Amino acid sequence: MRTTSLRPRLAAVGLTAALALTLGACGGSDDETLSSGDRNKAEAAALKYVGGGAVTDAERGDGDDTYAYQVEVTLPNGTDIDVELDDSFKVTNSPPKASAFATGSPSATPPADPTGAAPSAGGSADDQPLTGDTLTQASEAALKAAGGGKVTETSGSDDPDHAYEVDVLMPDGQDLTVELDEGFKVTKIDR
C-alpha cells in the first residue's frame, strides 16, 4: 500500500493560491480602460481646456483617485500636462494652459514665484511647470548640457542645490534630468 503524504501537496497548493492572490492584488494598473465614447469626450474636454497639444494617454480613475478621468496632453513645446476631469468631463485640477508656455505672449500669465514656476495651491514652485522666459532659458541650458534631445517636462524646485529641473528624452531613448541653479547653470545631470 502506498502512503504518500498529502502535506507537501497541500502546502504547494496553499502557496500557489497565496501567490496568485498577492499578484492579483498588487499587479497591473488600478486604472480602468475607457470606452471610446468616454475617451473622445475626455480628450476633447482636456484639449479645449489646455488650448492645444496632442493627447498621449487617457484613463479612467479608480476608487483611490480624486478624478474620474485623467488625460495626458503633450503641449507643442514638449511639456506633458495631466488634466483631471470629473464624471461630467469638467476639469477638476488647475493644469497650465498652452498659452502659458508661449514666450513673449501677452496671454502668458507671469509667474508669481521668482523661480518662474507656476504657483501651486500652497504657493510653492516645487514640481510646478516652468513658464515664459524661465521655461525657454531652462530648456535651452538643459538641451545644451545634454547635447540635444527633447524636453519632456520642466519644473521648479525647492531643493537647496537647484532651482529648476528639466527632463530630457535623448534620441537613444534615455531619460535625463538636468538640474539648474537660478542662473541656469547645470548643477547635476541624473542619467
> In this predicted model, what pLDDT tens digit does every residue of 60-116 receive, in sequence order?
988 788 889 999 888 777 778 888 999 999 998 877 777 766 544 333 333 444 444
Give CA angle at 107 (99, 144), nearest 5°: 50
φ and ψ at residue 132, rounded to 5 degrees = 55, -140
Q: Kindly report the average pLDDT of the chain as a whole number.
A: 76
- Cα–Cα distances (Å) from 165 to 25, 30, 138, 147, in that order, read 35, 29, 8, 16
Whether the Cβ atoms of residue 125 and residue 96 lie closer than 8 Å to each other? no
Dist. CA 62–CA 185, nearest whole Å: 41
* Residues whose CB is less than 8 angstroms from the CB of residue 191 and which lie 6 or more positions away in sequence, other chains included: 174, 176
Full pLDDT tens readout for the chain, 191 residues: 555 566 666 555 555 555 555 444 444 444 467 888 999 999 999 999 888 888 888 899 887 888 899 998 887 777 788 889 999 999 988 777 777 665 443 333 334 444 444 444 344 456 788 888 888 999 999 999 999 999 888 888 888 888 899 999 888 888 899 999 999 999 999 88
Q: How many CA atoms lie within 13 A of 39 on its CB side?
A: 10
Dist. CA 149–CA 107, nearest whole Å: 28
The pTM score is: 0.42
> Edge to edge, what strands does the sheet with 54-60 contain?
54-60, 69-74, 80-85
Domains of the chain with bracketed CATH: 36-95 (3.30.505.20), 109-190 (3.30.505.20)
